[in-house]
Structure 1
């Protein structure tokens, strides 16, 4: 395997994909770190795309569904994370619009804020910061903070 870069690249890719879905950029970055030649990298990635093992659109959809269901993340955080993972903006926009609407964003923000308020006494300002850091819009953060804590943080 040490002498065959194609075999090394395939083995690396399959090992990574066996754990969880990956983006094309994530696989490329791994190949680059392992100093796999660019031509070999492109060939293996083309094979993975043709076989359906790499699909940035499906990755974005699965990532959003997991983060929304388990982590109560807002659309701004999700967009940034997917951009870092190398997903194209158009695919991100499609995936987010398929899942997110203002009502869902508010429901997720309420669920998260209720959870953190149960653990400790949170000031309205800290609640706003926590919601903003999780990717919720400023408007949603204000509305939910006012609703849950009974505080209005500035004009709407």
Structure 2
């Protein structure tokens, strides 16, 4: 719209320097702005006033056809993501190699991830079997490494067994990895975990410390006999919390 078609009013246009009056910042901003085509609206209102003898133009209702309609923003309903092309065996091998370059994977985890990436189940199984035959996948080595890392963080055998089984490691490799854990070493790790937990339970009531310490050790995966032994040594109570 040409600039001369818009009447210059200081309370609507930003002709002067900016100041504290925010009304000066209001001006037409394109064909869909509220102030656009207002001359057409005023002209039609004046025609209606002259013909019907009505009041001032500012009291005339604005006609809908004189105002540019606003487009309503249509929001797309969240739907499922468009499935990409299925991975053939060559592309599935490339994806598997990229995943293995980042961190170790179990056989079951890698097969599930390839299926999620778009590989058919039979293609994912063939790729995983080939990688296992070449030595790139080894569930037994994964289990040993997992036990070593998680033991250093204070987790017990029961917790480690559940984590490995959830990752698809078979029972035999899990048993072999956990068999290397010595009982006395597990007790010593449980003592260290209990000391740190008791330091955090200083403000707790004395009658509740035993129960909270017992629950913490059990959540960490330590077996009940070791938990009972730690409670007797450190708090002088049994697993039930009785002295």
Cα distance change, pair 109–12 in 1 and its aligned pair in 2 (3 A) = same
Counterpart Cα distance in 2 of 1:77 and 1:36: 32
In the alignment of these two chains, the number of paired residues is 152
| CA deviation map 1:67-102 (0-9, x unaligned) | 011x1111111111111011111111111102x122
The answer to whether structure 1 residue 62 and structure 2 residue 148 are counterparts is no
Q: Is the radius of gyration larger for structure 1 or structure 2? A: 2
Within 5 Å, which residues of 2 pair with 1:15-54?
A: 15-54=98-137
Counterpart Cα distance in 2 of 1:119 and 1:125: 14
Q: Identify the residue that residue 72 of structure 1 maps to in structure 2.
A: 154
Deviation at 1:4, TM superposition (A): 5.4
Q: Report which structure shows greater RCO (CA 8 Å, sep ≥6).
A: 1
- The structure whose residues are more often helix, as a share, is 1
Q: Identify the residue that residue 229 of structure 2 maps to in structure 1.
A: 143
The answer to whether structure 1 residue 84 and structure 2 residue 170 are counterparts is no
- Given the two structures, how large is their TM-score scaled by the length of structure 1? 0.88
Q: Identify the residue that residue 113 of structure 1 maps to in structure 2.
A: 194
Moved over 6 A (4+): none
- 1:30 is paired with a residue whose SS is helix
Counterpart Cα distance in 1 of 2:121 and 2:139: 20
Instruction: List runs of 5+ in structure 1 lacking aligned partners.
Output: none
| More displaced 10-residue stretch of structure 1: 109-118 or 125-134 | 109-118
Instruction: List runs of 5+ in structure 2 lacking aligned partners.
Output: 1-84
| CA deviation map 1:126-156 (0-9, x unaligned) | 000000011111111111122123332349x
State the Cα RMSD in Å. 1.8
Q: Identify the residue that residue 54 of structure 2 maps to in structure 1.
A: none
The answer to whether structure 1 residue 6 and structure 2 residue 89 are counterparts is yes
